[in-house]
Every structure is written in C-alpha cells, then in structure tokens.
C-alpha cells in the first residue's frame, strides 16, 4: 500500500494541530542506558537500530510473508537526521538480486486538537506516531488483469500491510505513544486500514461507512478506481463524491481509545452515515492495467 507522497504532517492534518518541536522518545535517562552519546540521532525514534527493526520484521511475521514471495535476507537502512522525517527502507534478496520492498516515513511528535467533535481532548497533549508515507511493493512482479494496479501503485503489493502496521503499533505502545495517525490518500488505503483504525472525526467515519455500504460486494480495485474516477455519486446533487484525506487513528493509549469508543462518537458517526444518499456509477468501476 502507498499513502501518498511523503509530505510533512502539518501540511496534511486537519483536526490535529502539531505542537512546535519534536518530542524526545524515550526519556533522556532511558537513552543514556541504551546507547552511547555519540550514537544519538542515528536511531529510529531515538530508540531502534537497523538490527532491531530487522528483528521486529521477523517477530511480527513480515519476514515470513516476504519468504512466501521469494524474498530473503531482509536488511534495513535508516535516515534519521531529520526528526520530522524518519525514513525506514527495507530491502530483500530474490534470485540474487537485492531490491527495495518497503519504505516508510515516520514522525514522532506531540499534537493537540480544538475540534468541536472532540471536546474531551481539548487541552490534552497527544504523543503520537505519524505515518507520513508507507509503500510496500514487489518490483519483480507485473500487474495482471486479475490484479491490476491500484491508484498510486508503481508495483504490485506484497500483502504485508497488516504485519507492518502491527509492527508500528508495537513500537508505538512500547514507546508510550497515545496512538498512530495516518491520512490515507486513496479510498482503498482506508479500506486496508479499517481493521484497526477509525477516522478521528466521527462524521468522516460515518461517511466512510456509507462508502463501504454502497460498495458492498465490490472488489478492492473496483472500489478504488470507482472513487478515483468520480463514480461515487451523491443522489441528492448528482455530483461526484471526491475522496478527502482526513486523519485516521489507531489508539495505543486510553485517551484516544475513549474518544473513538464513546457513545457520542458513535452517534455522530451513525448520523453522518445515514445522511449519505450515495450510489456507484458502475461504468467507472473497471481499471485498465
């Protein structure tokens, strides 16, 4: 899956306001025990070495999934000089050739919100892991009629999205984050995330559920290209319903968990979902190779 080009968090977020300055994780005392002074700034999130990330790939099942695809000996390259753009690049070997199979851009920072639908979070500092960019691909395969390209894809996917996201969630929980934030660029990204994520805005969650209701029975490619080509139609106006990037969150702490699990969140989401009168124009559902 790919989540758009790696833009900075403040250029994307609608309802969470980025506080000035990155947060330091873990505490200074923790870092002192874990890494020599000269090594600071070279670790992912000031905590993980490349070797630790490789170990996590194995622990969360990513390595095994890669092996099914014929990839072995995964290695990790980190670019961590910019705390706002922590880059993780994963390569693996297939038939003697080393290729990049995954890349992520992460940011650890503090956020707050003044959104009217999140009154209980006003004045609360949320320490979050923001996934700015995620691409998982198999550059050795080609798209087929059965598995056409999805919007934003350069190569077929690897089928490792759930394992990779579980790994990020494990990192966030270990480092004391309140959760993970991501802004899906395309509708199919949100579909892939929906097992663990909810939209921060309950109205956006309701509209997403309306989309899922309308596209029930469709394949992921049909949904993706139908939305991308303007095939989702508002029956009240006859206009296409365009995909809008908004924050999806997966909580690892109680603050966010209480927000998306609250009765008022569910009521607002239900109201937004039931207000949608949408249909798909099936003529726009098929994607070319």
- Strand partners for 127: 110
Average pLDDT, the chain: 87
How do the domains of the chain map onto residue ranges?
Answer: 9-284
Q: What is the pLDDT of residues 126-185, one digit of tens each?
A: 999 999 999 999 999 999 888 889 999 999 999 899 999 999 999 999 999 999 999 999
d(CA 216, CA 270): 18
d(CA 219, CA 212): 11
Q: What is the mean pLDDT of residues 259-273?
A: 97
pLDDT of residue 28: 40
Locus of tokens 């690049």: 89
Give the angle subtended at the CA of 152 by the CAs of 164 and 211, to the nearest 5°.
85
d(CA 181, CA 200): 9
106 phi, psi to nearest 5 deg: -115, 155
Q: Residue 20 pLDDT > 60, yes or no? A: no
Closest CA to 59 of 171, 158, 206: 171
Q: Residue 27 pLDDT > 50, yes or no? A: no
Element at 50 (helix H, strand E): helix 50-59
Q: Residue 57 pLDDT > 70, yes or no? A: yes
Confidence of residue 251 (pLDDT cuts 50, 70, 90): very high
Q: Residue 211 pLDDT > 90, yes or no? A: yes
């Amino acid at each position: 899956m790919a989540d758009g080009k790696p833009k900075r968090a403040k250029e994307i977020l609608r309802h969470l306001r980025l506080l000035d300055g990155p947060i330091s994780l873990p505490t200074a005392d923790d870092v002192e025990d874990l890494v020599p002074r000269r090594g600071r700034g070279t670790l992912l999130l000031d905590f993980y070495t490349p070797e630790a990330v490789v170990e996590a790939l194995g622990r969360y099942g990513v390595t095994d999934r890669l092996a099914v695809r014929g990839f072995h000996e995964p290695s990790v390259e980190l670019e961590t000089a910019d705390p706002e753009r922590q880059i993780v690049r994963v390569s693996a070997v297939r038939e003697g050739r080393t290729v990049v199979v995954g890349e992520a851009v992460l940011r650890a920072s503090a956020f707050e919100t003044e959104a009217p639908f999140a009154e209980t979070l006003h004045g609360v500092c949320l320490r979050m892991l923001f996934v700015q960019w995620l691409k998982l691909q198999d550059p050795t395969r080609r798209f087929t009629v059965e598995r056409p390209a999805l919007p934003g894809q350069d190569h077929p996917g690897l089928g490792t999205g759930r394992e990779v996201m579980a790994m990020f969630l494990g990192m966030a929980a270990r480092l004391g984050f309140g959760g993970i934030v991501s802004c899906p660029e395309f509708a199919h990204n949100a579909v892939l995330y929906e097992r663990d994520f909810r939209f921060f805005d309950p109205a956006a969650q309701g509209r997403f559920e309306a989309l899922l209701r309308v596209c029930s029975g469709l394949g992921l490619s049909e949904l993706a290209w139908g939305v991308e080509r303007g095939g989702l139609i508002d029956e009240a106006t006859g206009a296409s319903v365009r995909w809008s990037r908004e924050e999806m969150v997966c909580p690892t702490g109680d603050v966010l968990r209480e927000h998306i699990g609250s009765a008022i969140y569910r009521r607002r989401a239900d109201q937004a979902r039931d207000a949608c009168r949408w249909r798909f124009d099936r003529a726009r559902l098929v994607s070319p190779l």
